[in-house]
Amino acid sequence: MKHLYILLLFVLFVSCKNDTSNNSSLTEAEIQVNKKSILIENFKFKPNAAPIISVHRGGKSIKNYPENCLETLQFVNDSISAIYEIDVAKTKDNKLVLLHDNSLERTTTGTGKLTDYTYEELQAFNLEDDFGNETAFKIPLFTNVLKWAKTNNVILTVDIKRSVAVEVVIDAIRAQKAEDVCIIITYDLQQAKKAYKWAPELLLSVSARNVKELNWLLESNIPTENMLAFTGTRLSPNDFYKKVQKQGIKTILGTLGNLDKQAQAKGEVPYKVWRDKGIDVFATDRPFAAAKALGVVK
High-pLDDT (> 70) share of the chain, %: 89
pLDDT, average across residues 192-212: 98
Give the per-residue pLDDT at 13. Answer: 40
| Interval 131-151: pLDDT, tens | 999 999 999 999 999 999 999
Furthest-apart CA pair in the chain: how many Å? 94
Decide if 87 contacts 100 (C-beta within 8 A).
Answer: yes
| C-alpha triplet 260, 53, 254: angle, nearest 5° | 45
Binned at pLDDT 50, 70 and 90, residue 32 comes out as low
Would you kindly state where each structural domain of the chain is located, as residue ranges? Answer: 41-294
Q: At residue 76, what are phi and psi to the nearest 5 degrees?
A: -65, -40
Distance (Å, rounded) from C-alpha 38 to C-alpha 31?
15
Give the per-residue pLDDT at 29. Answer: 45
The residues pairing with 84 across neighbouring beta strands, listed in sequence order, are: 55, 156
pLDDT, average across residues 225-231: 98
- Domain 41-294 homologous superfamily, CATH: Phosphatidylinositol (PI) phosphodiesterase (3.20.20.190)
| Interval 230-271: pLDDT, tens | 999 999 999 999 999 999 999 999 999 999 999 999 999 999
Q: Is the pLDDT of residue 27 over 90?
A: no
Report CA dihedral (19, 30, 155, 256) to the nearest 10 degrees.
Answer: 110
Q: At residue 191, what are phi and psi to the nearest 5 degrees?
A: -65, -40
Give the per-residue pLDDT at 33. Answer: 52
Q: At residue 215, what are phi and psi to the nearest 5 degrees?
A: -65, -40
| Interval 90-114: pLDDT, tens | 999 999 999 999 999 999 999 999 9
Distance (Å, rounded) from C-alpha 292 to C-alpha 268?
9
Q: pTM of the prediction?
A: 0.89
Q: Is the pLDDT of residue 62 over 70?
A: yes
